[in-house]
Structures are given as C-alpha cells and as structure tokens.
Amino acid sequence: MSVILWGPPGTGKTSLAHAIATSSDRRCVELSAVTAGVKDVRTVMEEAQSQRDLYGVRTLLFLDEIHRFSKAQQDALLPGVENGWVTLIAATTENPSFSVVTPLLSRSLLLRLEPLSDAALDALIQRALDEPFGLAGKFSVDEQARAAIINFASGDARRVLTSLEAASAIAQQTSKKKTGIIAVTAEHVSAAVDSALLRYDRNGDEHYDVISAFIKSIRGSDPDAAVHYLARMIAAGEDPRFIARRLIISASEDIGLADPHALSVATAAADAVAFIGMPEGRIPLSEATIYLATAPKSNAAYNAINAALADVQAGKSGSVPKHLRDAHYAGAKKLGHGKGYLYPHDSALGVVEQQYLPDTLASTEYYKPTDHGSERDVKARLEKLRAITKKRR
C-alpha cells in the first residue's frame, strides 16, 4: 500500500518516510519533486520492474514535495504504483485533494500529520540541550526563552531546532563566561528569530483554511476573528482582489436583504483597493470586513436562487404564460401573446392579481425572507404583495 504523508513543515513527514525506508528490506530510492523530471520517474519505474522480475526485489520510492510534480510527472508514477513495481511514500505540505491527481490519490493511504503540541516542542528543546550530538549540556534555556521558541515554531520541530541553535550561538557570542553553562534568554531568541515567519502558502492548504475561517467568522458575526484572518492574509501577501471578491460574495450570500447596503460596501471596498492599491487598501478591506461581520444576516436570497436553479435543472420549467410573452413582433397577436396582461402601473396599488410563474410552478415560493434586519420589513411587505398577486389570504 502506497502512502501519502500530508502535514505542515516540521511535523516529521520526511523523518517518518526515512524510518519506514530504513526499516524495510526493500530497495530504497529517493526522488525530490524539485529536481526530478518525467524521465527520472520513468527510469525509476523501469529499474523497479527489472529488480522485481529478475531478482524478486521490491522497491520503495520516497518522493518529497509531491505537490510540486506536474500532472504529467504524477501520471508517470501511476504504472509503477498500479502494478506494484514500487511502494510509494510521498510527502506534501499541501492538501492532496488539490495537488495530487485522483488516480494516484485513490491508490494511496492518506495520513494527515498535525502540528506538534507545545509539550512535544518543549521536550524537543530539552532533548536538543541534553544530547551529545546536540548542545551537549552547554546551554540552559529559561522559561521565557522556551515560550518564545515554541510560539515562533507554530508546531514546527525544524523551526524549534533552527531557532534554538541560532539563539545559543548568539548567547555564546555575547556571554562573558569562560566556563560553565551559558544561559539562553528571550532576548537571544528574539535576536535570532528577528520576526515571526508566517506559514501561509497562497496556493496550498493554508490558503483555503484561512479564507474559509475568514468567511465563517463574518457569517458568524465575529468581527475580531474576521479581522484576524484578514490580517493573516494581508501579512502573507494574499492578492487583495481575491479578498475583495470573497467579501462581495459574502455580502450577497450571508447578508443579502437583511442589510441591502452590505453589497454596496463590499463593492466599494473592491473598487477602493483597485484604485489605491496596497498597503492602504487594507483599510477599506478592514472597514468592509467589520461592516459585514456586524451586519444582520440572511441567506434567503442565496437559498432562493439555489432552489429555483434546482427546479430548472430538474426540468420543472413549464411554458411562459401567454399573457407574459413578448407581443411586440408581427404575428404575436395571432398567437395570443400578451393577451390578458394587466399593467401594474394602471392599478392604484401598483400591483395586481396576476400569475407570473409557469402553470406547473404557480404556487411555488422560492424567496423566504427572515426576520433579521431590513428583511423583516421586506417580509411584511412581501406578505401583502403575495396576498394580491397570488390571491393569498
């Protein structure tokens, strides 16, 4: 069974793959998606087939960063995986659903590796301090420094070791002690780290997770969380036009007629960002985000179009009533088009009893307004309108 190891950096994907490879009695081959091409993959497949057929030796192929492989390169892996010439162990930091071709994904066991816990990272720091092949007991790290390293690492073991090594080097350079254990402080860690590196791949899983959290925070009416995720996207260099488009969609889908101004605010923010650019564009984006998050919510318009589309796609269309058909061309009168049409403006109320939907859908009501915000007024008005147009009592 082939395996795809999916998780953020520093969670042990490569280490786990190497542990499996070295503990196996199979022939081990390693490829990097950064440097290997289709030719390299085919060569591995051919050699694996020969080893199996001639010597009965099976091959374990470790492929790092499989998300960097093109479709053609991944397709070249398929014959070997399908026919059992190789057992594939692949590692990726991106969601395989977006980066790995379906045939390869369906033939592999997907294992999700989560970021390491703070306790695990703290244990790693202690091991690095104690082990002879690490810092060999020459340094100590106080609680504040440990917390700073762990906070910076964000679940990444590699970051822990890199920042600890750099901080200890700075501590050694600045220490006046000739002998004894050198203390690594939070100041040393800060100097080593300089500034936190935000983990955010604009084409990967984090991109989808953060924008999802952003929209759900707006929908959930939490402006603090919404602005937090907005800040993460801006800090990571996300395309502001992408953010603006999502705000426009949210204004229509999640707020709708509960606050008709929401769409105008979101559209204005998109125009402002296009006009002034970044970094100033962050301000109208923040304004729109907070407005949408604090606005009353209704997805009635969203549900209405979805329900109407479902009926149309299911064949529930029906013929346009003759009195609503175009009567402005020659011969339309003979066909009965427009006959019996009532012009609403001729009524003192501006609305008349008249069927607008096809016969098969005459009693259907797609739009079901809520009691939230401005839609409460729309609901009351619509009740009166439907009482006239559909003779509802």
Q: How high is the pLDDT of residue 201?
A: 54
User: 163 with 188: CB under 8 angstroms?
Assistant: no
CB 77 within 8 A of CB 71: no
CATH fold group of domain 319-389? post-AAA+ oligomerization domain-like (1.10.3710)
Q: Return the pLDDT at 296.
A: 93
> Judging by DSSP bridges, how do beta strands 86-92 and 108-112 pair with one another?
unpaired
Give me the CATH topology for the region 118-193.
Helicase, Ruva Protein; domain 3 (1.10.8)
**The pLDDT value given to residue 203:** 54
Q: What is the pLDDT of residue 200?
A: 54
Under CATH, to which class is 2-112 assigned?
A: alpha beta
Domain boundary assignment for the chain: 2-112, 118-193, 205-294, 319-389
- So what's the pLDDT on residue 202? 54
Q: How far apart are CA 152 and CA 42, in angstroms?
A: 41
- Which stretches of the chain score pLDDT less than 50? 195-198, 392-393
Phi and psi torsions of 330, nearest 5°: -60, 130
CATH of domain 205-294: 1.20.272.10
What is the predicted pLDDT for the residue at 199?
53
Two domains, one topology: 2-112 and 319-389? no
DSSP conformation letters of 286-313: HHHHHHHHHS----HHHHHHHHHHHHHH
- What's 115's DSSP letter? P
What residue has token string 């984090």? Answer: 206
Cβ–Cβ < 8 Å for 101, 16: no
